[in-house]
Amino acid sequence: MGAGLYLKNYRGKDGRTQLEIRVRHKKLQYVKTLDIRVHPKDWDSKNLRIKGGLPQVNAKLSDLREGMLDAWDMYEANIYTWEELIRRVNGGSKKVDVESFIEDVYKYEKTQSTYITYKNCISAYKAILGYKSIQFTDVNYSNITSAINKWRTKGLSPSSINTYVTHIGSVVNEAHRRGLAPEAFIKHKTYRQKITTRVIKTVTTEDMLNAIPRVKDIYDFQTLSLWLLQFSLRGLYVKDIAQMYKHDKLNESDYDKDRYVLHKRSKTGEPMHILYSCEPTEDILLALKNSFKITHPTKCSNTMNALELLIYDTEDVRVHKNVWDVYQKRCTKILGYSFKTARKTFESTAMLLDVSSPIRYKLLGHVDSSIKRNYLNWEWDKLSVKVDDAHKAVIDSFNTEAIWNELSTHALVTGLVTEDTLSTIHLSND
């Protein structure tokens, strides 16, 4: 185990061989061939230098050797990760700038969405300050205060500014832990922006009915259908809907029983057993599945699973954005509200129906922080029935079925879809 410079196990026609970097720890292994050729008799394996070699070449080898030894010590002390070790043995500088650090660490150790979020945050910080690059020494009280004032002048919301500062602090602390930032991040009270009371935007039944005449093509039809589907599935976001087919189902092929998709909310980890066999949820699912075969033929599967709408890599942020961006933008244009309002509208409707807090928490996948969470047995069938009853009551109160009937009739009459697209015959599993 260790890191070092070695000769490759073959010679060229001129009798020389190339040098290579080798790093190994247990099952982890890394090898990189250098563009340096040497006669084996001229290689000093003890001092890692070329006997009688050019001074500049030996100076480069000396720097590589010193960096490898330092990096290995940091790795053994659990300060560097494997990725940071490899970057350093390749000659990476300790004085790495913030963006390079994010490229080296966050790109490989975090999810793609997290990596892009932090990358965009640092890019925004660099742009607002007018810097060409951001060093860790540039993340200081003076610069952060200046950035905050400029963001406020440009109209950036307090919550967005707070998020930027939090992300910047997270990056600096991670770099400090790895020995790359000189100091840990100090989050001064003056950084905190006061968030005023927000007006929660929700959608009414009238808003939905008024939007239907504005549906002019199949994409518009899919857009409103998706909003209704999100509402009917208790506020699932589009990424959750795209992944439904991967989750466990209950009574999936038994049409004499209630059918559920067993979802776990990513933000809280709370389980949500979502009833999807109530009207008009399944009809919306089937119509969307059929219409996606027209608009997204390459992303539709051949299975008969109604929950399997589109098949693509949901973790690929670029692909995911390309799939759903058209609908996100159309929703705001046609309805006047975003997809995210479906979840807020569902809970607000439940509130108006006097649904209790514990039931609402279970409906939306929120964490119940009250003492009641220690006393309620959600495995008890009678409590599960209350959750389902509340779910159905919210859908009925919003007149969801009437809205769907109006939307599907409009799409059929105007020729945007055919009767086959709106088929209500339940699809079975293959």
Domain end residue (candidates: 44, 60, 89): 89
Structure confidence at residue 225 (pLDDT):
96
Say if 110 falls within a structural domain: yes
Domain end residue (candidates: 168, 191, 214): 191
Structure confidence at residue 198 (pLDDT):
63
Q: What is the CATH number of the domain that holds 343?
A: 1.10.443
Q: Which H or E run contains 30?
A: strand 28-38
Domain of 147, in residue numbers: 98-191
Number of compact structural domains in the chain = 3
* Per-position DSSP letters for 186-205, written without gaps between them: ---GGGPPPPPPP------H
Say if residue 409 is in the same domain as residue 323: yes
Say if residue 250 is in the same domain as residue 287: yes
Structure confidence at residue 246 (pLDDT):
85
Say if 196 falls within a structural domain: no
Say if 423 falls within a structural domain: no
Domain end residue (candidates: 89, 108, 140): 89
CB neighbours of residue 237 within 10 Å: 17
Q: What is the CATH number of the domain that holds 156?
A: 1.10.150
d(CA 240, CA 170): 27
Say if residue 363 is in the same domain as residue 214: yes
Say if residue 71 is in the same domain as residue 123: no
Say if 421 falls within a structural domain: no
Contact 305, 358 (CB under 8 A): no
Say if residue 244 is in the same domain as residue 311: yes
d(CA 274, CA 266): 15
Structure confidence at residue 180 (pLDDT):
77
Structure confidence at residue 411 (pLDDT):
93
Say if residue 222 is in the same domain as residue 76: no
Say if residue 112 is in the same domain as residue 212: no
Say if residue 82 is in the same domain as residue 105: no
Give the Å distances, CA to CA, from 18 to 21, 34, 37, 404. Answer: 10, 7, 4, 70
CB neighbours of residue 153 within 10 Å: 9
195 CB-contact burial (10 Å; exposed 0-12 / middle 13-18 / buried 19+): exposed
User: What is the reported pTM?
Assistant: 0.62
Say if residue 146 is in the same domain as residue 224: no
2-7 β-sheet, strand order:
2-7, 17-25, 28-38
Say if residue 173 is in the same domain as residue 289: no
Say if residue 312 is in the same domain as residue 220: yes
Residues in the chain where the model's pLDDT stays below 50 = 425-430
Contact 85, 71 (CB under 8 A): yes
Contact 409, 213 (CB under 8 A): no
